[in-house]
Amino acid sequence: DRTRNINITLDEVVAELHKADPNYKWDDTSNSNFPFATLALVADQDHYTLLDSALVIHRVRIKDTNGVFQTLRPANRNELTDSEIDGSGTATKYHKIGQAVFPTPVPNYASAGGVELTFQRGGNHFDSTDTDEEPGFNPQFHQLLSLGASHRYAVANGLTKKIRNLFEQKTLMLEKLRTHYERRSPDDRTRFRLKRSAQNYGLTGGSNSGF
């Protein structure tokens, strides 16, 4: 199914976009809103469920008793004390379990629009009836979707002569996409990371610019 293959390739591309530059925090440009969610703060409610589209939580803010937003610090539940988990008052931390965020201690007051979540979401999938929809990333890399879908079709149908060529084209364009998005935040300080290599025990130093 062509639409299914395109959506699978879209997910692969989005995974690369998310990894390319954590500071840029890519978001599908076909969305009509920003990746923020505001919820009502309910007194003594110990958790808030994330949207299905939320893949990663970047920030949690909750209003204090004066109605002023305060950013909560992420925590690991296993590292919290019993008094922190069971306590109530003004939250200072949060931890996550599955698709839920747990403020700690549990707020014992209510506030309209008192919970704000900043998150990262995936790409918007296509329907088989779509005729003029476009993927929400740089147009110069849209060909990736047709290359990926064609490669999956070639593999499924044993078109051995085309499999390698399509794979190489897709791999080359993915590398160009990564390089492009890694350079989207030139105002940030260069960060260093480790890259796999056949030499030097498989590790070499590399900057975020891709060099």
- Distance CA(76)–CA(38), nearest Å, equals 23
Spell out the per-residue pLDDT of the chain, length 211, in tens: 788 999 899 889 888 888 876 666 777 777 777 788 899 999 999 999 876 666 778 899 999 999 999 999 999 999 999 999 999 999 999 999 888 899 999 999 999 999 999 888 777 788 878 777 888 888 888 999 999 999 999 999 999 889 999 999 999 999 998 888 887 655 555 444 444 444 433 433 444 433 3
Question: pLDDT at position 110, please?
Answer: 97
Question: pLDDT at position 20, please?
Answer: 79
What's the one-letter identity of residue 190? T
- Domain ranges (residues) in the chain: 2-30+124-185, 36-121
Q: Which residues contact 45 (CB under 8 A, 6 or more apart)?
A: 106, 107
- What percentage of the chain carries pLDDT values higher than 70? 83
- Distance CA(64)–CA(71), nearest Å, equals 10
Question: pLDDT at position 206, please?
Answer: 42
Using an 8 Å Cβ cutoff, are 68 and 74 in contact?
no
